[in-house]
Every structure is written in C-alpha cells, then in structure tokens.
C-alpha cells in the first residue's frame, strides 16, 4: 500500500498535518491544516462508513480521498 502524502500549504509552503476531532453518528470528523500558526489554512472533512459501521478500510480509503482533495486544492478551505 502506498503512503499517504500531503503537499505543502498552497498559501505559505508549510507542511500540513491531519487531526481527527470527533467520531459522531459513525462518521470520523477532522481537518487537514497548515502547520504555520500565521497561516492556519484548514480543510475540514468527514469520513463516512461504507456500510453500517465505520471500519479500518473506510478510514484508510477516506484518508486517501482527503489527501487527494488537499493536494488538488479541491475543497473549500478556510483561513482562521
């Protein structure tokens, strides 16, 4: 399996990080964010289960999708 890589922040070039915030209604919520406190660009996400319950494959597939969206700058991102 290939590793999940995130491109640097499109605004400042700082390396991003992924943070999970809550598991709610069987969805794993979190965000990808720039690690520069002066920039703080952020893209939130929710990983939804493919069946009744969220499982390991859902999380891995969701993380690949999130990395793809961050790397393409395909989702609404906000700066704090």
pLDDT(1) > 50: no
Using CA atoms, how far apart are residues 22 and 12, in angstroms rounded to an integer? 28
What would the mean pLDDT of 47-66 be, rounded to a whole number? 92
Q: Does any domain span residue 1?
A: no
Domain count across the chain:
1
Residue 6 in any domain: the answer is no
Q: Which range of residues forms the domain containing residue 62?
A: 16-79
Q: Is the per-residue pLDDT at 15 higher than 90?
A: yes
Query: How many C-beta atoms surround the C-beta of residue 65 within 10 A?
Result: 13
Residue 48: what pLDDT?
93
Residue located via tokens 């990395």 = 67
Query: Long-range pairs for 21-30 at CB < 8 Å and ≥24 separation?
Result: 23/54, 26/52, 26/53, 26/54, 27/54, 28/54, 28/59, 28/62
Give pTM, 2 decimals.
0.79
């Amino acid at each position: 399996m290939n590793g999940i890589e995130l491109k640097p922040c499109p605004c400042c070039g700082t390396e991003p990080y992924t943070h999970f915030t809550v598991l709610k209604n069987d969805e794993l919520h979190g965000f990808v964010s720039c690690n520069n406190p002066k920039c703080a660009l952020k893209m939130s996400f929710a990983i939804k289960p493919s069946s009744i319950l969220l499982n390991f494959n859902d999380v891995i597939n969701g993380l690949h999708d999130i990395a793809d969206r961050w790397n393409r700058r395909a989702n609404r991102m906000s700066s704090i």
